[in-house]
Structure 1
Amino acid sequence: MVAGPLLLASVTGNPILIAGGVFAQQLPWLLFSLLSGAFADRLDRRRLIVAANLGRAAALAVLTVAVGFGFASVVLIYLVLFVLGTGETLVDTAAGAMLPQLVAPEDLPRANARLSATFTVANQFAAKPLGAWLFGVAAAVPFGADALSFTISAALIFSLPSPGVSPAVSPAVSPAVSSAVPRRSLREDIAEGLRFLHGDRLLRTLAGAMGLGNIAFCAAFAVFVLYARHRLGVSDVGYGLLLTTFAIGGLIGAALASRVTSRFGAAAVLRAGLVVEVTTHVVLATTTRVWVAGAVLVLFGVQTVVWGVITSSLRQRLVPNRLLGRVGSVYALLETGGAAVGTLIGGLLAQAWGLTTPFWLAAAAMTAILAAAWHPIAEAGHRP
């Protein structure tokens, strides 16, 4: 996340080429999300994750050698980032589908919350300063370290028990993907997942709310750096600290997710989450005080993780094991596609009508989403 852009900046001064590195890693989500879901339902998920992580380790090893010997080019960096993104689509989809094979249904919220906390600590707090520090030691070091980390990750996943056979796990866990399922074309497999999602009103509503909500969020936050500088008046360091509020909220959300869901019920918490999103955009559109913005962003971070834990757990309980990869891949596609569309729209809106316009429109959009989703979300309190 940090060493990649730094490496590109050391190879080229073209801002378009540097920004293209981020796009190269995100593009596979738009191209392969649905395909990755189909493969996650066709293949042994554990072995798929191991193979994808070893592939990512190999790509990073090539880049490490290239950087170390001084022949890394923009094209090579793009290719490696594209491979990393492609592996990510496979690993994230298969991992989400594999969890119900390892964890009993009643423990899924706690497991998802712990995974969210791990992600927050590792990716939001540790990864960025560590990547920058390692790059300062030597440009090749962070990529070599990441190659090693993917290799260790593959070994850890390989050490897991075979799905559905661990005596330590409740017999209520989902069984492994059956090899007896007749094979069809990838198009038919993908279509089956889409039909299942479309036919379940609760899951369809949650997926639509997430996709449309991501458009609203990314439209508002596409120019957040300019908003922080010109409206809140913060320095570059202050901007960095402001971004950490999301991670702080995420950690709080991971700690509270299971408890608030047990206390108030999934439906009430999901509805409250949508209210928090509306409130966040309204507050950011109206305030000029950095502490107010920081406080509401902490609250938004809490909501994001709690919403994610609840929706992931519901999906893992309600979707048949043989369809988990495909249904999860649709969520991933909506999330990524919404982010891409929202980022583009937000920049255009801010340029045409000012920095607060995207926040006002995001608040209006989230209000409409809240109204449309209010009644379907009630099903979350009645489903297993």
Structure 2
Amino acid sequence: MSAVTAAAKASGARPRLSPDFFRLWWADGISAIGDGVTIAAAPLLATRLTDDPRLIGAASVAFTAPFVLFGIPAGLLVDRLDLRRTMMWVNLARAGLLAVLAAGILGGWAGLPLLYLCMFLLGTGDVFCRNAAQVLVPRITPKGDLAVANARIMAAQEAGAGFVGPLIGALLFGVAVALPFGLDAVTFLCSAMLLSRIRYRGPATAPTATAGVLSEMLAGARWLWRHSLLRSLALLSCLINLAGSAMLAVLVVHSTEVLHLSPFGYGVMLACQAVGAVLASRFAPVLTDRFGREGALVATAVLIATSELVLATAPSPYAAGVALALFSCGTVTWNVVVVVLRQTLVPTHLLGRANSVYRLIAWGGLPIGAATGGVLAAAAGTPAVFGAGAAAMGVIAVALLLGARRHWIRRIEPDARPATGHDVEDRAKDER
């Protein structure tokens, strides 16, 4: 451990987060509220247009498909472009897109095709902005504070998208169907204004004239696939996202047909995710320090499996709220661990591209899970979707436990010390 990191840890110094980080944090948090509004309102709008679970789930498929289609090109753009400026323009474009959807609803010409198109384009913007934000964080944050910084970013995203946003979205949907989408447009405008004030400028490296675009895109893929630890985590993340996406895609059907909730009740149920997210943001770095990264990942798999099992076996809105809190706690803790690993192990000039390939693998499970959840719910009911997810996560938890017993993360890292949130600065130096 470096002298600076050791002294900070011994003295209990607070994280040294920059003003630029807090601008990014606020921008993410505000747009996350808008995301939560749309997350609650879009499935409710789909239920107004159809009662087929497959067509309702298709809205989630449309939103997540760009993660597979555009993940690698987005990574190349992140490594080439001015992140601040591009994120700002993407958010302005998303604001205009949501304004069109709201106008379509008011005009009576918004049907499922327009909803699917808007969700697809919103997802396309999300592919770039999420990748860009994760690349931007280590450039405006001291390496020793990455775990805390990422936990705060994820907490803001989950609190906005999982608590404040769904409550507002469900409430506004009951007042006027177009209102939630108009509000989301406003949040993207506010986010763009905050991003414009970040002082960071420029891409990680200037684009070279000799390297082809395809070669540059594949460079990140080759690096990631040769790194056995990150490759394995990407594949596991794909399976986890598949199970979670299937669950979330049919949750609105479960809330109306099984739990008999109103639109506002559905929003309140979604908001329970924020409780788990806030808890995870506070305790994920502590959990990682105490039990190491292997132990933290095992705990996340157990939490997600438990949440799916509760949804499958307890037809109660209160039990569903607890289950969603457990699910969110598990996913945020998982993300804190694996994001810090990527930010510290991947070379800086490849971070955007390697990040995008990781997301392509991990998020490839999202549209597959959403489509599978809709088909399975139509054939066997929503509890069958949750039961299948619980079984899959149980298998993943056992696999992670076996890996933890063999110290599969510590063995592949440069040294044999336990992996903790406070050690990322030293790990990065060792890699260089």
Per the TM superposition, whether the score is higher than 0.5 is: yes
**2:365 is aligned with 1:338:** yes
Q: CA 1:348–1:73 in structure 2 vs 1: closer, same or farther (change >3 Å)?
A: closer
**268-277 vs 207-216, which deviates more?**
268-277
- Counterpart of 1:236 in structure 2 is 261
Cα deviation, 1:273-295, whole Å, max 9, x if unaligned, reads: 34444555667777788877765
> C-alpha displacement at 1:156, in angstroms?
0.8
Amino acid across the alignment from 1:86: T
- Residue 27 (1) aligns with residue 52 (2): no
| Structural RMSD (CA) | 3.5
Contact 2:76–2:217 under 8 Å retained in 1:
yes
Aligned pairs for 1:215-294 within 5 A: 215-218=242-245, 234-236=259-261, 243-277=270-304
Q: 1:106 to 1:227 in 2, by over 3 A?
A: same
Residue matched to 2:195: 157
Query: Is 2:162 the counterpart of 1:132?
Result: no
Moved more, 54-63 or 176-185: 176-185
> What is the distance in 2 between the residues matched to 1:180 and 1:98?
18
For 1:19 and 1:283, the matched residues in 2 are separated by 21
3-state SS in 2 of match to 1:145: helix
Query: One-letter code of the match for 1:91?
Result: C
Query: Does the C-alpha gap of structure 1 residues 67 and 377 become closer, same or farther in structure 2, counting only changes over 3 Å?
Result: same
**Structure 2: runs of 5 or more not aligned:** 1-38, 420-426
The separation in 2 between residues aligned to 1:293 and 1:19, in whole angstroms, is: 19
Report the identity percentage.
36
Q: Structure 1: which amino acid aligns with 2:171? A: W
Tell me the residue number matched to 1:64: 102
TM-superposition CA deviations, 1:12-32 (whole Å, max 9, x none): 446455543333222222211
The answer for the alignment partner of 1:317 in structure 2 is: 344
Deviation at 1:142, TM superposition (A): 2.8
8 Å CA contact retained: 1:135, 1:142: yes
Shift of residue 49 of structure 1? 0.5
Tell me which of 362, 366, 377 is aligned to 2:396: 366
Q: Mind listing any 5+ residue stretches in structure 1 that lack a counterpart?
A: 165-175
Q: CA deviation at 1:336?
A: 2.6
Cα distance in 2 between the residues matched to 1:293 and 1:75: 31
- The residue identity in structure 2 corresponding to 1:201 is S
Partner amino acid, structure 2, of 1:78: Y
CA contact (8 A) 2:269 2:321 kept: yes
State the alpha-carbon separation in 2 of the partners of residues 93 and 147 from structure 1: 21
- Superposed, 1:80-159 pairs within 5 Å as 80-159=118-197
Residue 248 of structure 1 deviates from its aligned partner by: 1.5
CA contact 2:79–2:205 (8 Å) conserved in 1: no
- Indicate conservation of the 8 Å contact 1:112/1:309, yes or no: yes
Q: Aligned residue for 1:377?
A: 409
Cα distance change of structure 1 residues 163 and 142 upon mapping to structure 2, 3 Å threshold: same
Equivalenced residues, count: 370
Residue 194 of structure 1: aligned partner: 221
Q: Structure 1 residue 198: deviation in Å?
A: 1.3
Aligned partners of 1:75 and 1:229: how far apart in 2? 23
Find the aligned partners of 2:315 and 2:56 in 1 and give their Cα distance.
32
TM-score (norm. length: structure 1): 0.81
Structure 1 range deviating more: 287-296 or 374-383 = 287-296
| Alpha-carbon shift at residue 315 of structure 1 (Å) | 0.9
On the 8 A contact 1:217/1:362 being kept in 2, the answer is no
